[in-house]
Chain A
């Protein structure tokens, strides 16, 4: 089985467009600067979350008309550009090699789909736009991004709700491990839109503001739901020896992953299911729980999901659960759905490289039903090792991914190149 190197990342987040800026803002405990439009604010009492106000597609996507791309397409194509640049894939090299793209997304663009349909209803079926129709398919952003950047390899879209991004990384890693593709961009994206906001609000899943303006705090006693955000995150994954051969910077490695489903069908993902995903990821990586140096939790302020995840971490780490530090960056970025898992992965990779794990913003007292865990209140130094990322969906999906940061295995001797270390 082949090894999977992470050779770059591109992020469009509420904390800017570089992994380092993202990690630094998270480590400083900043709150995402999301923006809600008036029409959106009108449908919900929730005042947290919203659009990334600072995103300007023209900064990243130059030379071709942007008109054909909807917002999801634009944030994904932008993240792809950044990831390709970050990993040293130039347009010239892309002409000679088939690079793939695996995008996790919960909704594609439900806004595009809904607007297309509403125009048909209000103006008549012959007045819809063919260009908009092309973007109503759920794989539209992956297709548009492939066209924009000439990505001719395996192009797939993975939809597993809020676990989509992490599932996409696992799916992509397996394509490399089993030799179906040597290089691909993988990650996730979802845009903030009226339709999703409205749906989550009426499903009772958003945080209740209770008259105050606090961002939801994962695991806290006061948690009442999450803040809906947005983002796009892609990592460049390459077969290890191919990455070494082309002299690529190797930032880390995907060691393994696992996923599981809770068929109880009660709209919840139980602790056993989440623990099962973590155990599968440990098994797939050939790593013992005691070797894991940090966990990036999925927890986002949801009442049941946060509790179930905490119980699962406690169970999967069988006693060492209160030793390994656990962070929850959704205390700052909110729930970015399909982007979340990939966002956590990029942030944790930065943590493994810098040795600094962000804290859980605003966490004072965990809820009484949360078992004893080493929940990071403030940023803290961590040991080199392996990082585990969790994603827990709204309706029974759980996924875990194990990564290591490079440097960890190879940087002990100052001048040992990655190639020599192999």
Chain B
């Protein structure tokens, strides 16, 4: 196993409803800032809910340099912004790298939904002749990593892993494999999703959207808040990072992925698949359960998710579960869909760096069925050497990533 290189995180970039860029984002997170408001990007008068977590001050032209902002979709714009922020954060001089060995791997729920929404608008207005215009260039979800690669002139592997709300974790897991296998020297791995009418409509119909607040693990929680955002991690081999004098946030210690094979939209009632993913991540990382210092929960704030996620953590960690701080940053960011687990992976890296855990906000009356330490309402200083990032998705897709402080 000694021949397998360690993979480290050396750059973080995020565009979120509570802040853009590592510092602004982390400060907002520690301060418990919430990013919710009435949906602006489309008319929700026909809906019973109106809350969303949109990024209201995003200016694509501030970030997109090489591509034309008018021809690429909003998910691509958000992704490019986050990718560039991660590169800058990593102090990586693009002139010094072999672009053929630089790749991009992205996770998403919807890709570029605005293009199919435009198709549908035209279709219902009877303009079928022009409905498909621009669809192929703009819509298929793989255009997001392609656009990031084109913007940065990366010529290595570009891949989209659209495993819905766990997609960011899948992308980071794969990117770390690509680096371990020696297929690339640099990987930008992350997730991106723009605010989507289709997603909002679906979650509204499921009754899963909170009317006023996202309150994970609270007994009065009423649902999630759909959001948008992008997050990228710059990953590279540890020896390369040390050689170029890069700041190392942490190592990607390992991952666990599994499938419930139980239900499309509901998690397994005993947390079976989620627990298998956590166990696999521990095993692959060679980390003992008692060494986990922090868990970044999926924690959407829906009644079912938070209850079953608690069961899965207890199933995995037993009595230890009560001693591990767990928090859900979705209480502040909302659910940024495919970007969520990538942003939460960055949260894990920052928790290790700052030795501080962001809070679960809006947690006033803890659900007796969710009886773990959810770090309510106040950030906490604490030793964090190992952090676990959990994310779950439609389709029964479960994912756990483990990050570990990097020994000098």
Interface of A with B (CB < 8 Å)? 43, 68, 98, 100-101, 106-108, 110, 113-114, 116-118, 120-122, 124-126, 128-130, 133-140, 142-144, 146-147, 149-161, 164, 167, 171, 174-175, 177-178, 180, 195, 198-203, 205, 258-265, 267, 273, 276, 280, 284, 393-397
Contact yes or no, A153 B259, CB < 8 A: yes
Q: Which residue of B lies closest to A257 (CB)?
A: B183
Does B239 lie at the interface of the complex (its beta carbon under 8 Å from any beta carbon of A)? no
Give Cα A136–Cα B141 distance, bound, in whole angstroms.
13
Contact yes or no, B396 A263, CB < 8 A: no
Contact yes or no, A106 B140, CB < 8 A: yes
Give Cα A383–Cα B393 distance, bound, in whole angstroms.
46
Contact yes or no, A199 B136, CB < 8 A: yes
**Stretch from B148-156, B228-236, B339-347, B374-382 forming part of the interface with A:** B148-156
Residues of A within 8 A of B154 (CB): 261, 263
Does B31 lie at the interface of the complex (its beta carbon under 8 Å from any beta carbon of A)? no
Does B132 lie at the interface of the complex (its beta carbon under 8 Å from any beta carbon of A)? yes
Q: Which residue of B lies closest to A131 (CB)?
A: B264
Contact yes or no, A140 B202, CB < 8 A: no
Enumerate 17 A-B pairs (CB-CB under 8 Å) in ascending A order: A43-B132, A98-B258, A106-B140, A110-B116, A113-B116, A121-B121, A126-B47, A128-B205, A137-B395, A140-B264, A143-B259, A144-B395, A155-B395, A157-B162, A159-B140, A261-B149, A263-B150
Contact yes or no, B396 A146, CB < 8 A: yes
Interface of B with A (CB < 8 Å)? 46-48, 66-67, 99-100, 103-104, 108-111, 113, 116-117, 119-121, 123-124, 128-137, 139-143, 146-147, 149-150, 152-164, 170, 174, 177, 180-181, 183, 197-199, 201-206, 257-265, 273, 276, 284, 393-397
Q: Which residue of A lies closest to B129 (CB)?
A: A43
Give Cα A203–Cα B138 distance, bound, in whole angstroms.
11
Give Cα A43–Cα B132 distance, bound, in whole angstroms.
10
Give Cα A387–Cα B66 distance, bound, in whole angstroms.
38
Among B155, B162, B395, max chain A CB count under 10 A is at: B395
Closest 3 A-B residue pairs measured CB to CB? A143-B395, A199-B135, A133-B202
Known: A43-B129, A200-B132. 12 other contacts (CB 8 A): A107-B140, A128-B201, A128-B202, A134-B265, A140-B395, A146-B396, A155-B395, A198-B132, A203-B132, A265-B66, A397-B146, A397-B158
- Check A203/B140 contact, CB under 8 A, given A113-B116, A130-B205, A198-B132: no
Contact yes or no, B177 A174, CB < 8 A: yes
Residues of A within 8 A of B262 (CB): 147
Give Cα A84–Cα B104 distance, bound, in whole angstroms.
33
Residues of A within 8 A of B146 (CB): 261, 395-397
Among A125, A158, A195, max chain B CB count under 10 A is at: A125
Contact yes or no, B120 A143, CB < 8 A: no
Contact yes or no, B198 A161, CB < 8 A: no
Give Cα A198–Cα B146 distance, bound, in whole angstroms.
22
Give Cα A264–Cα B154 distance, bound, in whole angstroms.
10
Give Cα A155–Cα B280 distance, bound, in whole angstroms.
14
Residues of A within 8 A of B47 (CB): 125-126
Contact yes or no, A396 B150, CB < 8 A: yes
A67 CB → nearest B CB, Å: 12
A146 CB → nearest B CB, Å: 4
Contact pick for A117, options B147, B198, B273, B284, CB 8 Å: B198
Residues of B within 8 A of A121 (CB): 120-121, 124
Give Cα A84–Cα B111 distance, bound, in whole angstroms.
31
Residues of A within 8 A of B259 (CB): 100-101, 143, 146, 151-155
Among A198, A258, A393, max chain B CB count under 10 A is at: A198
Contact yes or no, B205 A125, CB < 8 A: yes
Residues of B within 8 A of A152 (CB): 258-261, 273, 276
Contact yes or no, B170 A156, CB < 8 A: yes
Contact yes or no, B394 A155, CB < 8 A: no
Residues of A within 8 A of B136 (CB): 199-200, 202-203, 205, 394
Give Cα A257–Cα B258 distance, bound, in whole angstroms.
24
